Amino acid sequence: MKRTITHLADGRELIYFDRRDDADRSAIDRRPLDPPPPASELRYDPLTEEWIAVAGHRQTRTFMPPADECPLCPSSGTRASEIPAHDYDVVVFENRFPSFSRNFGTYAEVGGLSEVRPGVGRCEVVCFTSDHSSSFAMLSDAQVELVMDAWADRTAELSAIEGVEQVFCFENRGEEIGITLTHPHGQIYAYPYVTPRTRTQLGAASRHAARHAGRNLFADVLAAERAAGTRVVAANELWTAFVPAAARWPFEVHIYPHRQAPDLAALSEEERAAFAPLYTSVLRAFDGLFGVIMPYVSAWHQAPVREGRDLGYLHLELFSIRRAPGKLKYLAGSESAMGAFVNDVPPEEAARMLRSQVDH
Amino acid sequence: MKRTITHLADGRELIYFDRRDDADRSAIDRRPLDPPPPASELRYDPLTEEWIAVAGHRQTRTFMPPADECPLCPSSGTRASEIPAHDYDVVVFENRFPSFSRNFGTYAEVGGLSEVRPGVGRCEVVCFTSDHSSSFAMLSDAQVELVMDAWADRTAELSAIEGVEQVFCFENRGEEIGITLTHPHGQIYAYPYVTPRTRTQLGAASRHAARHAGRNLFADVLAAERAAGTRVVAANELWTAFVPAAARWPFEVHIYPHRQAPDLAALSEEERAAFAPLYTSVLRAFDGLFGVIMPYVSAWHQAPVREGRDLGYLHLELFSIRRAPGKLKYLAGSESAMGAFVNDVPPEEAARMLRSQVDH
């Protein structure tokens, strides 16, 4: 794998990840770009003790451009995209409309028992393939491994940025989930705080360890799900994919490595290789469920940078909001206002449906 | 106000709230209804220490019927709806497809470090008006007060059910938020647990009280927002509506009474009367923002039944997912998977836009 760091016309970093060592990465971005917007501001919510990012500049971000203006396709002789080269394997670059960045100024007090601080961090875009009409489910195993190399590289690099507390690699897929570009891509958020859900999971893991002689909560969940078996969707020697017993979403699959690792950078080459075919088979099972493209969020849960490295346990949480061919699960009053989830699809039934697609 | 309790053909309770004491509520439901479905089961999520309701029967719930088959309109000579009477002011009845109920059986162990228990509780539907094409924003003050009387009555009644820990009155409005019936209506969930968001708010309130000589967190937030003033949208002598300094949603308004009350049942008659014109003016401001119907969630935060009665502080949290005329805020990776919110509309800007509509 060859890694080449370049810069776009407005100073943002762009990194090529190539399978071949002789890829020519000398193309230069000559677009007349405005300077990057300032970082968002973080506001402290006194009612929840959480930080909310306010990023007014993101209102103007690119929204569903026509395919021939896709900013994630390679540049051509006549059109300059975000990627200067005429082809690429996997490419990562700083988001033009970031929620977090290091380009911040000063922020005024806002009152209301809130505090304000700059949204230090970094947001990156990961192009999974140069093929505009492909999808992650359709990638070759070698291509998935290259994406994993990129994720691991970025996790290590972003973890080293001062002020970054957690690195989150994820993919939003489908218009129903709110994507604004259809080209197969994911994102990476390097947060200046430990996110609320990770904070909650680490708290649960800490209490579990205290009650059970230091045992790892996630390892125990994995063992219990493998023992129950009824919700396992797919497995190989190094990974298991299962619908969790208390799934929140109509179709939700968690994928765990069999060995505790804090983050993607800590996976072995064998683990990365074994993940690829398992994951794409689960994604294809999602799309096979109803014969329509499944909108999904695919979220890598990594341990924070500076805490919980042993309590945490790298795993992927994949879920769809589609509950039936013409119906979506919406987060309305109970979920959005109270955080109380009601799931209309029994987890064992979801697992059975997904298994029949994987075996297909 | 006259309250009349009746029962539907399948045994569910229906309660009329009438302004006139002579309303005839003798109509009988003669529909051939199936018995109510069993209660959902609650599953414990070991990763978050939260309970998830699994309600498979809700997959078949009524979904966007044509207007002449609306189950929330009064019955007519030729068609029987959920409401036997030929007219009503406000009516409340047990949901036919409840997430929680008292009609439960036994549940098998599911493994996966999860526990299972019955989803004890109750779910009710509140019809705000018999006028199918109206909306809460269009209700008269007297009608809003009758709705508040119904909410207060139901809060007291449902709080007395064994096993109920929290009562949540809310309205989901708009297809974009996932409503399955367009008739103006809300819902009430009587939960068998304290919801995650309320648990979080009570934790914050408890720590605030410990740090500040027993002061109430919500009262202090209200005072600070009134002092800052920049985010106040509307106010009268007994209530203030403001955009919180750390708003999560593009358009979010919190409405607080000036006096601490644990729940709707504890409001005085004057407070109920003063809420009505303030709230509907804010709702009309929402609809005026972009000249299109605003999808929203309107959520009454009440203190739990058995704890936090002094720490809590009744208030309404209203928010929309619409961030621009053709654009919605989706809860994608950062929000849904990590609980980390990014808001594209600065709260002061949202308040300014809403204020200009209220003054209009």
Using an 8 Å CB-CB cutoff, list chain A residues near B48. 197, 200-201, 204
Q: Is B360 exposed, middle or buried (0-12, 13-18, 19+ CB in 10 A)?
A: exposed
Over 70: is that where the pLDDT of B59 sits? no
The pLDDT-based confidence of B74 (bands split at 50, 70, 90) is very high
| Domain-ending residue, one of B174, B193, B212 | B193
Judge if ipTM > 0.85.
yes
pLDDT of residue A68: 78
How does pLDDT run across A14-63, given as a tens digit for each residue? 999 999 999 999 999 999 998 888 888 999 999 999 999 998 776 665 66
Residue B213 and residue B312 in one domain:
yes
| Mean model confidence pLDDT for chain B | 93
CATH code: domain of residue A188: 3.30.428.10
Residue B43 and residue B158 in one domain:
yes
pLDDT of residue B347: 96
pLDDT of residue A175: 85
- Inter-chain CB proximity B110 and A207 less than 8 Å: no
Residue B22 and residue B83 in one domain:
yes
How does pLDDT run across B199-226, given as a tens digit for each residue? 999 999 999 999 999 999 999 999 999 9
pLDDT, average across residues B275-291: 96
Over 70: is that where the pLDDT of B58 sits? no
Residue B233 and residue B151 in one domain:
no
Using an 8 Å CB-CB cutoff, list chain A residues near B327. 63
Q: Does B348 touch chain A (CB under 8 A)?
A: yes
Q: Pick the catalytic residue: B86, B132, B185, B360?
A: B185
pLDDT of residue B113: 92
Q: What is the DSSP string of B296-352?
A: EEEEEE---SSS-TTT---EEEEEE-EEETTEE----IIIIIH---EESS-HHHHHH
Residue B160 and residue B220 in one domain:
no
| Domain-ending residue, one of A193, A219, A245 | A193
Grouping H, G, I as helix, E, B as strand and the rest as coil, residue A269 is helix
How many CA atoms lie within 13 Å of B330's alpha carbon, on the beta-carbon side? 19
pLDDT of residue A60: 61
Residue B35 and residue B104 in one domain:
yes
DSSP strands (E only) in A151-301: 166-173, 185-191, 232-235, 239-242, 251-257, 296-301
Over 90: is that where the pLDDT of A328 sits? no
Residue A155 and residue A143 in one domain:
yes
The tokens for B259 are 């006096």
How does pLDDT run across B19-30, given as a tens digit for each residue? 999 999 999 999
Judge whether B50 and B117 are in contact, CB under 8 Å. Answer: no
The pLDDT-based confidence of B64 (bands split at 50, 70, 90) is low
pLDDT, average across residues A308-325: 94
Domain region containing B140: 2-193
Q: What whole-number distance in Å separates Cα of residue A295 and Cα of residue B332?
A: 10
pLDDT of residue A179: 84
Model pTM score: 0.95
Residue B209 and residue B181 in one domain:
no
- Inter-chain CB proximity B47 and A114 less than 8 Å: no
Q: How many CB pairs under 8 A join A and B?
A: 284
Q: Does B172 touch chain A (CB under 8 A)?
A: yes
Which residue type occupies B355?
R
- Inter-chain CB proximity B111 and A224 less than 8 Å: yes
How does pLDDT run across A123-181, given as a tens digit for each residue? 999 999 999 999 999 999 999 999 999 999 999 999 999 999 999 999 999 988 888 88
Low-confidence winner among A29-33, A104-108, A145-149, A208-212 (lowest mean pLDDT): A104-108
How does pLDDT run across B94-148, given as a tens digit for each residue? 999 888 998 877 788 899 999 999 999 999 999 999 999 999 999 999 999 999 9
Residue A37 and residue A123 in one domain:
yes
Residue A239 and residue A151 in one domain:
no
Residue A157 and residue A268 in one domain:
no
pLDDT, average across residues B300-313: 97
Q: Mark whether A254 is an active-site residue.
A: no
Judge whether A38 and A59 are in contact, CB under 8 Å. Answer: no
Over 70: is that where the pLDDT of B228 sits? yes
The pLDDT-based confidence of B314 (bands split at 50, 70, 90) is very high
pLDDT of residue A159: 98
Q: Does A173 touch chain B (CB under 8 A)?
A: no
Sequence-distant (≥ 6) Cβ neighbours of residue B182 within 8 angstroms:
B64, B67, B70, B132, B175
Closest-CA distance of chain A to residue B13, Å: 22
Q: How far is CA B231 from the centre of its chain?
A: 23
The pLDDT-based confidence of A289 (bands split at 50, 70, 90) is very high
Residue A40 and residue A187 in one domain:
yes
Q: How many Cβ atoms sit within 10 Å of the Cβ of residue A142?
A: 11
- Inter-chain CB proximity A47 and B331 less than 8 Å: no
Grouping H, G, I as helix, E, B as strand and the rest as coil, residue A189 is strand
Count of the separate structural domains present in chain B: 2
| Domain-ending residue, one of A193, A227, A259 | A193
pLDDT of residue B56: 76
| Mean model confidence pLDDT for chain A | 93
Over 70: is that where the pLDDT of B276 sits? yes
Residue whose token pair is 């691991």: A152
Q: What is the DSSP string of B19-61?
A: SSTT----------PPPPPPPPEEEEETTTTEEEEE-GGGGGS
Q: What are phi and psi of A27, to 5 degrees?
A: -60, 140
Q: Does B195 touch chain A (CB under 8 A)?
A: yes
Closest-CA distance of chain B to residue A279, Å: 18
Closest-CA distance of chain B to residue A198, Å: 7
Interface of B with A in 102-121 (CB under 8 A): 110-114
- Inter-chain CB proximity B110 and A230 less than 8 Å: yes
Q: What whole-number distance in Å separates Cα of residue A249 and Cα of residue A136?
A: 21
The pLDDT-based confidence of A325 (bands split at 50, 70, 90) is confident
pLDDT of residue B37: 85
The tokens for B52 are 């998830």
Over 90: is that where the pLDDT of A67 sits? no
How does pLDDT run across A223-242, given as a tens digit for each residue? 999 999 999 999 999 999 99
How does pLDDT run across B142-193, given as a tens digit for each residue? 999 999 999 999 999 999 999 999 999 999 999 888 888 899 999 999 999 9
Using an 8 Å CB-CB cutoff, list chain A residues near B49. 200, 203-204, 207
Over 90: is that where the pLDDT of B292 sits? no
The pLDDT-based confidence of A332 (bands split at 50, 70, 90) is confident
Q: Identify the H or E element spanning A273.
A: helix A269-290
Over 70: is that where the pLDDT of B62 sits? no
The tokens for A24 are 């020519």
